[in-house]
């Protein structure tokens, strides 16, 4: 596995601005997301990670468990407004873009070609170029960014968000920024962290990332983001009680 230099440099930024590691929403997997509510709130585009978010690492097809919700996501956001940004498919490691083409075929969405790994600023530029080139361009704050890794997916989402906020503040006069805050424009990009893994991989790093998120959450002040409105309530699997006659049957078996 090649070194992800942009990812390795993240801890230096964390020292100055630890909140860059905080997701807005944490979910086990994307079945918990209510895409229709997100769309109603003004989010019009979605960036998804691939490995351990939508697919098993090194595989090109969707995990069967999320087939239905993926279809719902594509129908909600529409053609071209959902893309995959992976640190495998679509990078320089993907010779000739063969894996990107295969993933794109199986998942029915474009896979972004990018030169540097997430969360590099050049990767962010590639995402921005893609969404601004659409017939109905999607702005940074109208994006949701979904992934399973803090140091790549979540940091990248927060970098885009910070750049957007800085740009908006620089462009707007104080009265304009108050008006902008009062409009229906969504407060994105929304950083969505999937904590479940479809196949165990980099578990030590994941443990460290979880510990970091817990520590920064405890340390941070300010209103926590209300992400619950974007979640679906998924009923817990029914646990069947053992039949009343079973203990008796077990005793019979042991005798
Ligand atoms: Mg991943």
> Taking the CB of residue 30, how many other CB atoms lie within 10 A of it?
22
d(CA 131, CA 44): 10
> Taking the CB of residue 94, how many other CB atoms lie within 10 A of it?
18
Sheet holding 82-84, edge to edge: 25-27, 190-194, 143-147, 45-48, 82-84
d(CA 85, CA 89): 8
Pair 116, 86: CB distance under 8 Å: no
pLDDT cut 70: percent of the chain above it:
87
Band of residue 16 on the pLDDT scale cut at 50, 70, 90:
confident
Q: What's the mean per-residue pLDDT of the chain?
A: 88
Pair 69, 34: CB distance under 8 Å: no
Rg (CA), the chain: 21
Pair 123, 130: CB distance under 8 Å: no
Token duo for residue 81 = 């407004």
pLDDT tens-digit readout, 114-163: 999 999 999 999 999 999 999 999 999 999 999 999 999 999 999 999 98
pLDDT tens-digit readout, 72-121: 999 999 999 999 999 999 999 999 999 999 999 999 999 999 999 999 99
Higher pLDDT, 252 or 125: 125
**Residue whose structure tokens are 């750049």:** 163
| Predicted local distance difference test score (pLDDT) of residue 250 | 53
Is pLDDT of 255 > 50? no
> Taking the CB of residue 136, how many other CB atoms lie within 10 A of it?
10
Pair 84, 112: CB distance under 8 Å: yes
Beta bridge partners of 192: 25, 146
Q: How many angstroms does the Cα of residue 148 sit away from the middle of ligand 1?
A: 5
> Taking the CB of residue 101, how many other CB atoms lie within 10 A of it?
15
For the chain, the maximum distance between any two Cα atoms, rounded to a whole number of angstroms, is: 84
Q: How many angstroms does the Cα of residue 8 sit away from the middle of ligand 1?
A: 16
Pair 35, 70: CB distance under 8 Å: no
CA dihedral angle for residue 214, residue 217, residue 219, residue 221, rounded to 10 degrees: -170
Q: How many angstroms does the Cα of residue 133 sit away from the middle of ligand 1?
A: 26
pTM for this entry: 0.86
Q: How many angstroms does the Cα of residue 52 sit away from the middle of ligand 1?
A: 5
Q: How many angstroms does the Cα of residue 250 sit away from the middle of ligand 1?
A: 45
Its CATH class, for the domain covering 5-254, is alpha beta
Q: How many angstroms does the Cα of residue 54 sit away from the middle of ligand 1?
A: 8
Q: How many angstroms does the Cα of residue 56 sit away from the middle of ligand 1?
A: 9
Q: How many angstroms does the Cα of residue 246 sit away from the middle of ligand 1?
A: 44
Q: How many angstroms does the Cα of residue 239 sit away from the middle of ligand 1?
A: 31
| Predicted local distance difference test score (pLDDT) of residue 4 | 81
- Domain ranges across the chain: 5-254
Q: How many angstroms does the Cα of residue 76 sit away from the middle of ligand 1?
A: 23
């Amino acid at each position: 596995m090649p070194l992800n230099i942009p990812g390795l440099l993240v801890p230096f930024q964390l020292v100055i601005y630890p909140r860059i590691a905080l997701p807005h929403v944490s979910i086990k997997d994307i079945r918990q997301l209510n895409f229709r509510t997100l769309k109603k709130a003004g989010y019009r585009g979605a960036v998804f990670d691939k490995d351990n978010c939508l697919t098993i690492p090194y595989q090109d097809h969707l995990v069967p468990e999320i087939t239905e919700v993926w279809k719902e996501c594509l129908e909600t956001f529409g053609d071209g407004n959902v893309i995959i940004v992976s640190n495998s498919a679509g990078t320089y490691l993907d010779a000739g873009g063969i894996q990107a083409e295969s993933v794109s075929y199986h998942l029915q969405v474009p896979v972004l070609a990018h030169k540097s790994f997430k969360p590099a600023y050049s990767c962010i530029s590639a995402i921005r170029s893609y969404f601004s080139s659409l017939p109905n361009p999607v702005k940074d704050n109208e994006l949701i960014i979904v992934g399973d890794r803090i140091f790549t997916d979540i940091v990248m989402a927060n970098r885009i968000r910070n750049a957007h906020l800085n740009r908006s503040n620089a462009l707007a006069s104080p009265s304009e920024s108050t008006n902008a805050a009062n409009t229906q424009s969504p407060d994105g990009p929304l950083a969505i962290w999937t904590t479940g893994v479809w196949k165990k991989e980099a578990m030590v790093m994941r443990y460290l990332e979880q510990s970091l998120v817990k520590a920064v959450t405890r340390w941070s002040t300010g209103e926590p983001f209300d992400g619950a409105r974007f979640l679906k309530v998924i009923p817990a699997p029914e646990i069947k009680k053992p039949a009343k006659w079973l203990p008796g049957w077990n005793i019979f078996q042991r005798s």
